[in-house]
Structure 1
Amino acid sequence: MRLRKKWWARPELEESKNVVIRPSEKKGLWKEEFKNSNPIHLELGCGRGQFVSSKAKENPDVNYVAVDLKDEVLIYALRKVNEAEVENVRIIPMNISFISDVFDKDEVSKIYINFCNPWPKDRHKKRRLTHTKFLTEYKKFLKPESEIWFKTDDTELFDESQQYFKDNGFDLKYVTYDLHKSDFQQNIMTEYEAKFTSLGMKTMFLIAKLK
């Protein structure tokens, strides 16, 4: 479904201290932005912000950077962060293709990818956020032994992503095809996940660790 343009969203985003409009200027300087040396966790495709705001509230000693493209979505993520009254989140409106321009070597400790576009057609698979093309970019700023936590409801994407990780220097620490019936205890549902789980959707989940 196409989002209706919200002309008021960008001014509200630009006014917030929790939104970084020119993120490439922060490359190598995120400790100064957060005013501490806590680890940085990155959510790629944050949607309306339920996941990142909950994570930030649970883990005040971790800094979170949430990225998505559309102002019309990010404005709700910002409001969720504000409602949670957390200081350890920054929101970036940008195309994820340019993410390696934003972080310096070893600047990020963990990545979350939740229900990204599966891009099922062969000619589009390089757009997947778990594809080799993107994993190569992430490795430019991930610390050694960092983890990527990946959730999807698309079986083909999940199967092929496991191979992408293996081919690009990651070990699969945890893999389940039914997260909500597994023994994994640290899950936080996204808005999408909560809605479609109630309709019978199974969530697949893995943790890939950089060697």
Structure 2
Amino acid sequence: MTEPSYLTAVRESYDTVAADYVARVPPPAAMDPLSRAMLAGFAELVRAAGPGPVADLGCGPGRVTAYLAGLGVSAFGVDLSPRMVELARHAYPDLRFSEGSMTALDTGDDELGGVLAWYSTHHTPPRWLPAVFAEFHRTLAPGGYLLWGDYVGDERLAPTRGYGRPVSYESYLLPLDRVVGLLEQAGLVVTARVEQEPGGRVNRPHACLLARKPPRADAATSVARRQGAGPR
């Protein structure tokens, strides 16, 4: 099947800006406190649930993947850009990074304890988001968590330069309620949301959503509940 043109644009653009991205974007330790708190809470929930590793999708140079690993999570990264993956592997040789698309992950059903989509879905045209969120649902284990963070709004952006270099990607900022609706349509239950106004180095409204794939009801427990306590 022919690759969607937006994926080609994202891959080529981030290959072009990869080194400049690393130089210009602050590390996770410099994030705002609420974003760091959401990442820490996500890591704690995944550790407690324990159904599998975390996939950092659109991992870029791997900094947030490594940050999660430092919080005690088994994490690996996936990115469209070969250059970004190369930089991540060089910086964090003990972690696993691979090339891939969120529209078709090289991961089996119900394998992941968590999915992190950290400022990595805004380049996805809205008509493709249902397929992306369906992949999140497919790959998450029952009871697994998704942490989504990104810019929000109601705008389509087509910059010609990014991080000081020519780029051809576009960005699609959606109202947060629309993102919530798309996640719920994919079968994920949103359990927390944090919305932030522009401030510091972030000049647009941004938000985080925590969602969960519903756990499977234990068959024996379900039978017991239907039958009651039974004879004594």
TM over 0.5: yes
TM norm structure 1: 0.61
How many angstroms does 1:171 deviate by?
A: 1.7
Match of 2:201 among 195, 198, 202: 198
Distance 1:105-1:51 versus aligned 2 partners, 3 A rule: same
Structure 2 residue ranges without an equivalent (≥5): 1-11, 19-49, 155-173, 215-232
Counterpart CA distance in 2 for 1:134 and 1:38 is 21
TM norm structure 2: 0.56
Deviation by residue 1:85-134 (Cα, 9 ceiling, x = unmatched): xx3x21011233220xx2223211110001124258xxx3233xxx2212
Distance 1:69-1:142 versus aligned 2 partners, 3 A rule: same
How many angstroms does 1:167 deviate by?
A: 1.9
Partner of 2:168: none
Distance 1:68-1:197 versus aligned 2 partners, 3 A rule: farther
Counterpart CA distance in 2 for 1:177 and 1:51 is 20
Partner of 1:4: 16
Counterpart CA distance in 2 for 1:209 and 1:38 is 12
Distance 1:38-1:79 versus aligned 2 partners, 3 A rule: farther
Deviation by residue 1:13-40 (Cα, 9 ceiling, x = unmatched): xxxxxxxxxxxxxxxxxxxxxxxx9831
Alignment of 1:1-211 (within 5 A): 2=13, 3-4=15-16, 39-59=52-72, 62-82=73-93, 87=94, 89-99=95-105, 102-119=106-123, 124-127=125-128, 131-156=129-154, 157=174, 158-178=176-196, 197-211=200-214
Counterpart CA distance in 2 for 1:38 and 1:170 is 16
Partner of 1:31: none
Which protein has the larger Cα radius of gyration, Structure 1 or Structure 2? 2
Identity of aligned residues (%): 15
How many angstroms does 1:165 deviate by?
A: 1.4
Partner of 2:36: none
User: Structure 1: which amino acid aligns with 2:85?
Assistant: L
Deviation by residue 1:65-98 (Cα, 9 ceiling, x = unmatched): 210011222222223313xxxx3x2101123322
User: Structure 2: which amino acid aligns with 1:98?
Assistant: A
SS of equivalent residue, structure 2 residue 190: strand
List, as ranges, runs of 4+ consecutive aligned residues in structure 1 with deviation greater than 6 Å. Answer: none
Deviation by residue 1:160-182 (Cα, 9 ceiling, x = unmatched): 211111222222111111299xx
Structure 1 residue ranges without an equivalent (≥5): 7-36, 181-195
Contact 1:53 1:80 in 2 (8 A): no
